[in-house]
Amino acid sequence: MLLALAACSGGRIVENDEYHNDAGRSRVAGRMSGEQDGLLVMGTDRSSKSGSGAGAEGGLGVNAYLWRATLDTLSFLPLSSADPFGGVIITDWYSPPATPSERFRATAYIMGRQLRSDGVKISVFRQELRGGAWVDAAVAQATATDLENQVLTRARDLRSQTAAR
Amino acid sequence: MRKLLLGTTAVVGAVVMASTGAMAQGADPFRAAGPAVMSHRDLEVRVGGYFRYYYSNTTLDYANTSAANMGKSDFAQEVELHFVANGKAANGLRYGVAIEVQNDGVRQATSGTNSKNSLDLDEAWGYVAGDFGQVRMGDEDPVWALMSQGQVANFASGGLDGDFYDSVAHNRPVLSQPSDAGDATKIIYMSPQFAGFDFGASFAFNTGEGPLNGCTSSNTSCDTLASTSSNTIAQRRNEINAVIRYRGSFSGVGIGATAGYFGADVVKNTSGVSADRINVGQLGLQLSAYGFLVGGQYLFGDAGYGFYTPRLKVAGDDRNFEAFNVGLSYTMGAFTVGTQYGETRSVGVQSRTVTTGGRTDKGWSIGGTYRVAPGIEYVAEYTSFKIEEAGYNFSTRAASGTTANNSVDGQVFLTGFRFAF
């Protein structure tokens, strides 16, 4: 039964550092070589961990959890451009079916590699259709803040899902 | 399987040859023809190291004889060099090798001489891993040690699993720590983790390590020895381990638990008393919260003085092996302090000519670690142990059947620095 369980490949790969190691080196916390576990003499550094969501492993320049959470949160809008290194997401205009005379677009900035509450800034723009032309209109102050809070909640969920594995 | 073998071969080739762009061109006359080697972008090769420097002060019964007296103080160092190669194929398969070179204290390059700074290999293994789990092959601890939970060894040099043994001349205590099982060349399977659970099994035909079969002086020195008429040889065969492990957290409390089995046949003695098969179970549990780690392990079954040694098949002697260890540590910032107690009750020497009683090994350790900077630690610890066995003379280290010298006490104080890069 256990082998059948393994064969179904639904489990998490256990990393080598999750096994007991009786070498003296494994008992020392940290490395004189900094964040690197030993000196890289050849090949590509694979040591980056996704636990902090620092983003280096996936080739991101910003926090991976905030990046993913922002994409998830703004997914109801059509995407115009996304720069994972600069941390900028720009959506295209979108008119809700219920209110075809107004349209929205959003711009999100992810500030850095840290998962922190001020790590994301979202601006929402709104236009109304007046006399056959779209003109800028005010947006409730709380709209952008609500979206940011939704991003942070989603990022926290993603992080806890990863930590639980 | 063919793909796995090709991938592993490529890694080993990349490490040994250490050439760069020319590898894929096949222009190297020293390189055997074979499949195209992958780009270095897929590979990571690292060198790591470890160095420790300790002052030790040892008090040990019977260390002095009529012919020689011992001092108590000593300085000692130890070195490890780790070579690690890891790769990942386009299909997600992970693979690599890990080789640990060390200056071991007791290997004898010259017979009768402890050439303590000679380099030798400790662990040396390769692996392939993926959604199916991990297959590890080589000189490595069995899953009994790799997946054990409950041992508290995260303070000082490692408590009863630490470095104090290196300062004890003889009459070392047997305190049944997970890594005592040894690195016999073996094959290991370890599963992925499902809902906090993972499991593993390992198998070794024989107890030997390294590339040679051990048949250097006589047939009875062979790793593959199955039976002999010349003596009772306490050498394991068909060593099999199985472990199931759980790790999780509830309300901020980390829980680790393990249940394991260690079994092995033993070389048969066709002209006299043989040894029994080893059958030992292990249960371990550890809890961690707020910087505290508390844990313990219980071992039980059929074995000799240690869970990895066999018991002689002496008529009427079926005394069991039983051991436990418990520990507690506390970490606050750069400091960790901890203590561990261990006890082993075993059949002991089992002399066939004189009567000896059961053997009891007891030990405790207390100590601390100060992490000066990443990769540099200052450690200090005090360890005390006592071994008792009725009818055994610890001074002459022989079964005597008398009441003289039936116990031995030892204390070791260690302090020093250790470094890792």
Residues B210-248 pLDDT 10s: 888 777 777 778 888 888 887 777 889 999 999 999 999
Domain coordinates in residue numbering, chain A: 19-165
pLDDT tens digits for range A37-62: 888 888 777 665 444 555 444 567 78
In B, minimum Cα distance to A24 occurs at B50
Residue from A26, A27, A46 whose CB has the most chain B CBs within 10 Å, to mutate: A27
Q: What is the pLDDT of residue B10?
A: 42
Name the one residue in this structure whose structure tokens are 């107890």: B207
Q: B95 to chain A nearest CA, in Å?
A: 11
pLDDT at B43: 82
Q: Kindly state the DSSP code that residue A1 receives in the 8-state scheme.
A: -
- Residue that has been written with the tokens 């809890």 in this structure: B287
Min distance B257 CA to chain A CA atoms (Å): 13
Nearest by CB: A31 against B40, B134, B375: B375
pLDDT of residue B157: 95
Query: Which residues in B lie closer than 8 A to residue A16 (C-beta atoms)?
Result: 98, 127
Which tens digits make up the pLDDT trace of B130-174?
999 999 999 999 999 999 999 999 999 999 999 999 999 789 999
Test A28 with B131 for CB contact under 8 angstroms: no
CB B368 within 8 A of CB B339: no
Phi/psi of residue B408, nearest 5 degrees:
-135, 135
B41: nearest CB among A9, A44, A165: A44
| Helix runs in chain A, H state only | 2-7, 64-73, 141-164
pLDDT at A108: 94
- Test A13 with B148 for CB contact under 8 angstroms: no
Q: What share of chain B is helix, strand, coil (3-state, %, to 5)?
A: 10, 50, 40
ipTM of this model?
A: 0.85
Q: Whose CA is closest to B34, among B60, B56, B57, B14? A: B14
Residue A94 to residue A79: CA distance in whole angstroms = 10
Report the candidate in B172, B121, B128 with the shortest Cα–Cα distance to residue B5. B128
Alpha carbons B83 and B45: distance in angstroms, whole number? 7
| Best mutation target, B131, B160, B335, B369, to test chain A (most A CBs within 10 A) | B131
Partners of B183 on chain A (C-beta within 8 Å) are none
Residue A95, phi then psi, degrees to nearest 5? -105, 120
CA-to-CA separations, B189 to B136, B147, B183, B201, in angstroms, rounded: 6, 11, 15, 5
The answer to whether B393 and B400 have CB atoms below 8 angstroms apart is: yes
Q: What is the DSSP letter of B275?
A: B
Q: How far is B402 from chain A (nearest CA, A)?
A: 39
List, for residues B358-400, the tens digit of each pLDDT value. 999 999 999 999 999 999 999 999 999 999 999 999 998 888 8
Residues of chain A with pLDDT under 70: 1-10, 35, 46-59, 162-165
User: In sequence order, which ranges of B151-265 are alpha helices (DSSP H)?
Assistant: none
Looking at residue B220, its pLDDT comes to 79
Taking 80 as the threshold, does the pLDDT of residue B104 lie above it?
Answer: no
pLDDT at B40: 52
The number of angstroms, rounded, from the C-alpha of B273 to the middle of its chain's C-alpha atoms is 29
Helix intervals (H) in B278-392: none
pTM of the model: 0.73
For residue B341, pLDDT beyond 50: yes
Residue B27, pLDDT score: 43
| CATH class held by domain B39-420 | mainly beta
The pLDDT, as a whole number, for residue B288 is 95
Over the stretch B40-54, which tens digit does the pLDDT of each residue have? 556 889 999 999 999
Q: Which residue has better confidence, B398 or B412?
A: B412
Closest chain A C-alpha to B196 CA, distance in angstroms: 8
Read off the pLDDT band of B106 (50, 70, 90).
low
Can you tell me the mean pLDDT for B314-337? 92
**Token pair belonging to B338:** 């901890």
For residues A117 and A68, the answer to whether their CB atoms sit within 8 Å is no
Residue of A nearest to B157 (CA): A27
Of A6, A24, A43, the CB nearest to B133: A6
C-beta atoms surrounding B361 within 10 Å: 24
Q: Is the pLDDT of residue B60 over 70?
A: yes
Report the pLDDT value the prediction gives residue B90, as an integer from 0 to 100. 79
pLDDT, tens digit (0-9, with 9 covering 90-100), for B176-186: 999 888 899 99
| Distance between CA atoms of residues A54 and B100, nearest Å | 31
User: Is pLDDT larger for residue B312 or for residue B83?
Assistant: B83
Least confident range of A148-152, B278-282, B292-296 = A148-152
Of residues B316 and B313, more confidently modeled: B313
CB contact under 8 A, B40 and A44: yes
- Report how far residue B380's alpha carbon sits from residue B369's, in angstroms, rounded to the nearest whole number: 7
Partners of residue A38 in chain B, C-beta under 8 Å: 46-49, 82, 84, 421
Q: Which residues pair with B39 in a beta bridge?
A: none
Q: What is the mean pLDDT of chain B?
A: 86
Note whether B43 contacts A43, CB cutoff 8 Å.
Answer: yes
How confident is the model at residue B4, as a pLDDT? 42
pLDDT of residue B12: 41
Q: Evaluate if residue B26 carries a pLDDT over 50.
A: no
> Residue B33's pLDDT band (boundaries 50, 70, 90)?
low
| Residue B39 pLDDT > 60 | no
Identify the pLDDT of residue B240.
97
State residue A57's pLDDT score: 45
